[in-house]
Amino acid sequence: METNKKPIVVLENITKSYAMGELFVDALKGISIELTEGDFISVAGPSGSGKTTLMNIIGLIDRPGSGSLYVGGNKTENCNRRELTRLRREYIGFVFQSFNLLPVLTVFENVELPLLIGEKGLSKNERKERVDYFLEEVGLADRSNHKPSELSGGQQQRAAIARAMVTKPRLVIADEPTANLDSANGERILELMKKVNQEEGTTFLFSTHDPDIWKIADHILFLRDGELVKEQKK
């Protein structure tokens, strides 16, 4: 891995507040961080510390109240919805805690969907080869023709992880990716993510309470009450 790694996401003095009745809650208070190529990052902090808000802003799901956010060198403040969608498609893969698999599609079709939407120039055989590879890696090759309703929670989680990585995004954002997995499958998924991280230079950003992820993370962000209170790099 080269030492002069390029930044994928840059946050400069990011704030975010939410209205709760007549009160405003400061979810983020002046966060400034940089995520670079090949980072394996965990966001740690108690409930209400701002982890989810931070992940949503980095993933372009939510907009900051103030400050500057750059994704792939693109300043996002003035981007319209279509431009933000393009940046998400080109740079980011998501692993949601709620899976967000489409119930009418098979596992194979769910994983293939991002390739149909965003990857131009891939043939049907190339799409199949890539989907089959990631389904094999997450241990779901024998479930490719099943619908999500026919899978356990852990299997749905693994399908969601395969879908997030099938486009080989520059950044994967994962919300508790091992929460619904037993220890063996959790370890398998972490090994796969670390393999993709090292071989492809993919940046991973986790929000997790899993100490196994903290152990292998090379960069941990500690949040409390919307503030970055500590940043640990190994």
Taking only the tens place, the pLDDT of each residue in 194-233 is 888 888 889 999 988 888 888 889 999 999 999 999 998 8
**pLDDT per residue over 112-128, tens digit each?**
999 988 766 789 999 99
Q: What is the pLDDT of residue 69?
A: 97
Question: Model pTM?
Answer: 0.87
pLDDT (tens digit, 9 = 90+) per residue, 130-167?
999 999 988 899 999 999 999 988 899 889 989 998 98
| CA–CA distance, 145 with 161 (Å, rounded to integer) | 17
Q: Which residue has the tokens 């109240």?
A: 65
Residue range 44-65, pLDDT digits in tens:
988 889 999 999 999 999 999 9
Amino acid 145: pLDDT: 96
- CA–CA dist 82, 58 (Å, integer): 17
Q: Which amino acid is at 210?
A: D
- What is the separation of C-alpha 70 from the centre of its chain, rounded to a whole number of angstroms? 16
Return the axis-axis angle of helices 124-137 and 153-165, rounded to nearest 10°.
130
Strands across the sheet containing 7-20: 23-36, 7-20, 66-71, 74-75
More confident position, 121 or 183: 183
At 185 the three-state DSSP class reads helix
pLDDT at 1: 43
149 by Cβ neighbours in 10 Å (0-12 / 13-18 / 19+) ranks as exposed
